[in-house]
Amino acid sequence: MTRLLGSITLTLCFVTSSSLAQEPAAKPAQAAPEQVPEDQMLNAPIDEAALAQMFPKAPLNGESFPETAKTPEAIQAGTALLEKIAAKYRTAPAISDTVAWTVKLPGGEQKDSMSIRLGGGQDMEITAGTMTMVSTGGNVYFADEQVDDKFVKVALDGTVVNTLQTKLDGIEFPCPHLALRGSSEGKAVEAFSFGGGMFTKVAGYQEKDGTAEILLAGKDESDLKIVSDPKTALVKSLSLVMAPPGAPPGIRFAIDFTLNPTLSDKLEKPIAFDAGKRKAVDGLSDLTPSRPEAIAVGGEAPTFKLMDNNGAEVDLASLRGKVVVIDFWATWCGPCRKGLPTIDALAKWVTESKTNAAVFGINVWERGDGALAKSKEYWNKNKFCFTFLDDIKGDVIKQYGFDGIPATVVIGTDGKVVAVHQGFDANLTETLKAEVLKALGGKS
């Protein structure tokens, strides 16, 4: 599967939330990849009708292009403008841009953005959330603010796009700028083949309200509409429609991008990478924090103080003498949403049986404007009976060593870790009940 950054990764990998198999995603900005055991994913039932109702098929962009916009003459005009766009992005001395995208999902929208700066040749910088990619001086650097002691450094392999494909696990950014910067004459269509859709040709062209719209046709029920200013040959917006890999028939997503490009003779700030006190590593697999992969059973559970849904502080240290169950989750995480009811069932059992335990749902890695408020709204809407805790910056989950969610930890009365669970498990409620009782010596 194509690896994209930010919320697009999460959206195109939505099949996880529908219990479909997928490969792990690359580490996106401020949101950890969903790690779900493959056997659980493959064996889970698929309700294709329910999925189709939740994710209605988005109309292809081509449906808004009349037949007069698909004639050989129109296609020729669109092809000529597309090549003009590619030439502009390929030869401009400096370009600064902000790319923002919106994905419509059941229950709301996902929004994200990133900034782009292109200097001379293959010198460029992209910042997306906590991640930064810099190409300068014949090297490509990749860094994440969440990893404060390491960064990736690889030699530039011709172009940045080629380097990402050959040396950085095929990471792609949801924008055409990198490919356009290194494009060849007559190959403009290829520069827009991101997002899992390999676009093969210009299929239409029309002018509307002073803008030019170019339609690219792709395979697997995908197409792309490029909206450009015909005078400046700069891209103003993109509309991508595609069927996510592995999705059942009848599901197609629409992702809208807005761009704000500025051309100049020189960037105000030169492209540069500041390593600081960090050390270089050779690949993304080495870009992991210097901490345990996950908290060890039998070890002391890291203490924390977090705010609950009502603004009250919860101090783990004050809960000594109780068994504590914590579940790390996020609204964008399909397996998390699917697993929260199993944790809620445990919490109800704790209350009804008067078991000496406490259950908490720790919200992590949320992104976008009003992320915390939206998480609380999701929590309240589902009427979960256990306590919501705010760790959207990820400080506590970092202490616990998890790079993926959902992750559930059972902490004994002495503050030591009793059990650790990662990924969705339909039987988790009963498993946790047994672990809680065992930690209490077999008594509620």
CB atoms within 10 A of CB 393: 14
Please indicate whether residue 393 or residue 251 has the higher confidence score (pLDDT).
Answer: 393
| Confidence band of 148 (pLDDT split at 50, 70, 90) | confident
Residue 197's φ and ψ, nearest 5 degrees, are -105, 120
pLDDT at 276: 92
Spatial distance between the Cα atoms of 169 and 316, rounded to a whole number of angstroms: 39
Mean pLDDT of the chain: 84
For residue 246, give every residue at least 6 positions away whose Cβ sits within 8 Å of its Cβ, in sequence order, or none: 1, 15, 20, 21, 22
pLDDT at 25: 32
Question: At the topology level of CATH, where does 3-286 sit?
Answer: outer membrane lipoprotein receptor (LolB), chain A (2.50.20)
| Confidence band of 319 (pLDDT split at 50, 70, 90) | very high
By the 8 A CB rule, do 398 and 146 touch?
Answer: yes
pLDDT in tens, 160-169: 999 998 998 8
Residue 108 has pLDDT above 50, yes or no: yes
H or E element that contains 350: helix 334-353
Q: Is the peptide bond before 406 cis (omega within 30 degrees of 0)?
A: yes
pLDDT at 51: 55
Domains 3-286 and 305-439 share a fold: no
Q: Identify which of 285, 288, 293 has the alpha carbon closest to the alpha carbon of residue 402.
A: 293
pLDDT at 296: 83
Residue 434's φ and ψ, nearest 5 degrees, are -65, -40
pLDDT at 407: 94
Question: At the topology level of CATH, where does 305-439 sit?
Answer: Glutaredoxin (3.40.30)
Helix, coil or strand: residue 374: helix
pLDDT at 7: 44
| pTM given for the model | 0.63
Q: What percent of the chain has pLDDT over 70?
A: 82
For the chain, the domains span 3-286, 305-439
| Confidence band of 420 (pLDDT split at 50, 70, 90) | very high
pLDDT at 39: 38
For residues 208-215, give the mean pLDDT. Answer: 95
pLDDT in tens, 115-146: 999 999 999 999 988 889 999 999 999 998 87
Spatial distance between the Cα atoms of 243 and 23, rounded to a whole number of angstroms: 16
| Confidence band of 43 (pLDDT split at 50, 70, 90) | very low
pLDDT at 56: 65
| Confidence band of 370 (pLDDT split at 50, 70, 90) | confident
| Confidence band of 279 (pLDDT split at 50, 70, 90) | very high
Least confident of 26-30, 157-161, 403-407: 26-30
